[in-house]
Structure 1
Amino acid sequence: MELKKGIDTMKFSTLPPKGTFDVLPNDMELRNYVKDVIRHTYISRGFNEIETPMLENIDLMTNSDGGENLRLIFKILKRGEKLELGEGVNPDDLCDLALRFDLTLPLSRYYAKNRNELENPFKAFQMGYVFRAERPQKGRYRQFIQSDIDIIGDDSIFAEITILKTVALALGKLGFSNSRIKINDRRLLREIIEAVGLDEIFETVCISLDKLDKIGEQGVKEELIGKGVSSEKVEILLTTLTNLKTKGLQSFDSIYAKELAQIIEAVGRDYNIEFEPSLVRGMGYYTGPIFEIVSDEFGSSIAGGGRYDNLLTKFQKESIPAVGMSIGFERIIQILKDRGFQIPGKGKKVAILVGEYEKLEKAEELAQKYIEEGHIASIFSIVGVNPNKISKKISAFTKQGFHDVIVVQ
């Protein structure tokens, strides 16, 4: 039998799946630096680092108040005998797991399972990948890192104040000290929407208002009218929100407004914070104060969160107070890269070239000396390289970002 000669010439794309990305060494260095700054800041304020699985039970994900993210869930088919395809079967019945679309739902499950072993109140943070099946575009990915910080078990405004100040401190250390904090309260927002006569579709209206900074006032008008809201009520709603921006919290006669004013006063002693009555936040599980940190450089928020006191009732009867915030990690990275940010205190990158085995020990001693001085040292072989081409080798290493290139003689 004649065997075919040659190899399979089929070519595969080198591109990662849409909405994902490869991380090159220099970018990885920056990402690790940003993580370290956030991590050290949070730990210094008494927060505990945790980790939850990227996979979650699909029932938890689909029965959450995750807003429009529910349409963006990556669902995972059952395996083996559990996967029995049949005519007329609902595709959702063939899935039992999903990739997490945020870190808050996994944290709630984590706390409900482990609460007897955790501090009370529990101050936690985690950084990890989340997944959303949305249309990829600049600054939006299908796989990206979120950085969350939460306090569970504290129903006082001290929790909001601590979260906001801690996140603002971390962002300030990363060069975002001029960012603005916007704050509102879902309970005040409900009062406004109910006054307009739209209380039965509160969450629907919130989903549209949440897009105000993306599609503008006209876009929100068109979307609400398309959902069946009369143009008259839409006009009244948007006008009311605009007027409240001018009048401020003093126009509300409620305990919620007073608490919001206290948060603004406490945080405002150190950071730029303002009341924004049109702020919504897309997640339906928010129950009280909601907030965002906005960077004019990016033209959007770089962090956001709020209070979600009822989320843990999915796992137990009692309601446990909770408040949290997430930093837009990928947005932070992109802004820093656009700025040409250089990691402070970073040592030199040194290449040590060795052409003979007998010189290796000397090269290792030299490398160790650089390392002890806080630099990065790598040893490379130039065995067999023509002496006349050593200069080309040195130039190549310089182009690769090495500050010093040393040939051990």
Structure 2
Amino acid sequence: MALKKKPVTGMKDILPAEMQVREYVMNQIRETYGGFGFHSIETPCVEHIENLSSKQGGDNEKLIFKIMKRGEKLNVEEAREENDLTDSGLRYDLTVPLSRYYSNNAASLPAPFKSLQMGSVWRADRPQKGRFRQFVQCDIDILGDASRLAEIDLILATTTLLGKIGFKGYTVRINDRNILKGMAAFCGFPEESYDQVFIILDKMDKIGMDGVERELKEAGYEEEKVKKYLSLFESVTRDASGVRSLGETLKGSMDPEQAENLAAIIDSVTGISTCQFSIQFDPTLVRGMSYYTGTIFEIQVDGFPGSVGGGGRYDKMIGKFTGMDTPACGFSIGFERIITILMDEGFTVPGSQEKIAFLLEKGVSDEVTNQAMKEAMEERAKGVTVLVSQMNKNKKFQKDSLLKEGYTQFKEFYKESLK
């Protein structure tokens, strides 16, 4: 039986041209976030199944690649359910592993702790453009800071990075889970129904206001409550003053300080950042992860479906490990989606070093070969990238391929003479 040459569904081989862009973006990430004081860390790709299945990861918990027990611990004959066969799984995000990491190592870490983590995650998802079953995530998190300084710092760092790699004109959408709850309470929805209401609201960008109204009514909610609820979204403006105005409207249903906190974040980012983007209050922004407790945000790029980054505050997750809540806030960029956009736009890495190809005719003498190798080493000492390779029969095709890889100069070595 012939072996399969294509990758497993939902995973991909990365060719050199894309790998060059990926490495460039990764270097920009490390440099930019490092300049904001974030520390690079690494966590294992395998996590305890109890941590991955703790009802904090939303729908991602349905997409876990589970790992079977090993050796004598694996007893298939006596297994009665799936959990009898598995004790771990591949991580589906970087937030749960970070929370475990911090819980285990807090005594050795600075406070507050600013974390940068890049690595592959795995989800048994339906593959599509920009979405894979194995993909790289890039997260920055601030643990131990309950103030809005954390949100401001995260947004400024992320937008600075995007500006460095050429993104402009995008939108940072921002909301607060407490405002979502305050709006629902103001309109009379029972607290136990909030999750269902928010799930329907989260479809706003796909089905519109009319679609949300229809689905809320079909779910059994009274028309008067639904109308009152949707009128809030129609009347609020998408800036800091809109947040403050909404906070006044909801002051009997939520702490007005929560609205003021969000408005102050918008004002600060708008006043400080020099990058070309807009930050907008979006009261329809929900984000599906159940671990979010306060501020939430997403990045929207015109012409690209879905978000290319997102995050928020998750002040209760670390307490699941330690028994004591720790303030936590994070921002994740959609690394694979950003790479997809850059590749579709024909992005080339700026400031790449000079690249020369030395092509040796088949059968050249050792003397000519050594001459080529010596010259290549001299050029490399000057910082030039030099490829030494045997010359193909179809030299034109070979050169065209090398041009696509960024080689701009060629030197040919023949049996009889050097050209």
Describe the shift of the 1:94–1:360 C-alpha distance in structure 2 as closer, same or farther (beyond 3 A): same
C-alpha distance in 1, partners of 2:204/2:77?
A: 44
Which residue in the other structure is 2:252 paired with? none
Does residue 1:240 correspond to 2:249, yes or no?
no
C-alpha distance in 2, partners of 1:211/1:181?
A: 18
Describe the shift of the 1:28–1:212 C-alpha distance in structure 2 as closer, same or farther (beyond 3 A): same
Deviation by residue 1:284-305 (Cα, 9 ceiling, x = unmatched): 1111111111111313321100
Q: Assess if the C-alpha contact under 8 Å between 1:203 and 1:284 holds in 2.
A: no
Which residue in the other structure is 1:3 paired with? none
Q: Assess if the C-alpha contact under 8 Å between 1:394 and 1:405 holds in 2.
A: no
Correspondence list, 1:177-256, <5 A: 177-196=168-187, 197-217=189-209, 220=212, 224=216, 229=221, 233-245=225-237, 248-249=242-243, 250-253=245-248, 254-256=256-258
Does residue 1:300 correspond to 2:306, yes or no?
yes
Picking from 97, 104, 114, the partner of 1:113 is 104
C-alpha distance in 1, partners of 2:293/2:97?
A: 18
Describe the shift of the 1:27–1:252 C-alpha distance in structure 2 as closer, same or farther (beyond 3 A): same
C-alpha distance in 2, partners of 1:118/1:267?
A: 28
Aligned-partner residue type, residue 379 of structure 2: Y
Does residue 1:375 correspond to 2:384, yes or no?
yes
Deviation at 1:95, TM superposition (A): 1.3
Which residue in the other structure is 1:6 paired with? none
Correspondence list, 1:1-400, <5 A: 10-86=1-77, 89-196=80-187, 197-217=189-209, 220=212, 224=216, 229=221, 233-245=225-237, 248-249=242-243, 250-253=245-248, 254-269=256-271, 270=273, 271-354=277-360, 355-382=364-391, 392-393=394-395, 395-400=397-402
Q: Mind listing any 5+ residue stretches in structure 2 that lack a counterpart?
A: 249-255
C-alpha distance in 2, partners of 1:91/1:230?
A: 42
C-alpha distance in 2, partners of 1:11/1:231?
A: 62
Describe the shift of the 1:228–1:186 C-alpha distance in structure 2 as closer, same or farther (beyond 3 A): same
Tell me, what secondary structure is at the counterpart of 2:412?
strand
Aligned-partner residue type, residue 155 of structure 2: L
C-alpha distance in 2, partners of 1:356/1:24?
A: 33
C-alpha distance in 1, partners of 2:143/2:388?
A: 49
Describe the shift of the 1:143–1:287 C-alpha distance in structure 2 as closer, same or farther (beyond 3 A): same
Q: Assess if the C-alpha contact under 8 Å between 1:151 and 1:159 holds in 2.
A: yes
Tell me, what secondary structure is at the counterpart of 1:301?
coil
Deviation by residue 1:7-27 (Cα, 9 ceiling, x = unmatched): xxx223322111111101111
Tell me, what secondary structure is at the counterpart of 1:299?
coil
Describe the shift of the 1:223–1:27 C-alpha distance in structure 2 as closer, same or farther (beyond 3 A): farther
Does residue 1:405 correspond to 2:407, yes or no?
no
Q: Assess if the C-alpha contact under 8 Å between 1:185 and 1:288 holds in 2.
A: yes
Deviation at 1:399, TM superposition (A): 2.8
Describe the shift of the 1:222–1:27 C-alpha distance in structure 2 as closer, same or farther (beyond 3 A): farther
C-alpha RMSD of matched pairs (Å): 2.2
Q: Assess if the C-alpha contact under 8 Å between 2:79 and 2:85 holds in 1.
A: no
Deviation by residue 1:242-292 (Cα, 9 ceiling, x = unmatched): 333468212213001111111001101225211110111111111111111
Q: How many positions carry a matched residue from both structures?
A: 393
C-alpha distance in 2, partners of 1:233/1:133?
A: 38
Q: Assess if the C-alpha contact under 8 Å between 1:149 and 1:324 holds in 2.
A: yes
Deviation by residue 1:216-251 (Cα, 9 ceiling, x = unmatched): 445555665665555664454334333334682122
Deviation at 1:53, TM superposition (A): 0.8
Aligned-partner residue type, residue 200 of structure 1: E
C-alpha distance in 2, partners of 1:394/1:88?
A: 62
Higher mean displacement: 362-371 or 160-169: 362-371
Tell me, what secondary structure is at the counterpart of 2:322?
coil
C-alpha distance in 2, partners of 1:356/1:398?
A: 26
Deviation by residue 1:121-160 (Cα, 9 ceiling, x = unmatched): 0001111111111111122211111100000011110010
C-alpha distance in 2, partners of 1:230/1:203?
A: 17
Describe the shift of the 1:144–1:312 C-alpha distance in structure 2 as closer, same or farther (beyond 3 A): same
Deviation at 1:65, TM superposition (A): 1.5
Describe the shift of the 1:232–1:11 C-alpha distance in structure 2 as closer, same or farther (beyond 3 A): farther
Tell me, what secondary structure is at the counterpart of 1:187?
helix
The sequence identity of aligned pairs, in percent, is 44
C-alpha distance in 1, partners of 2:125/2:177?
A: 26
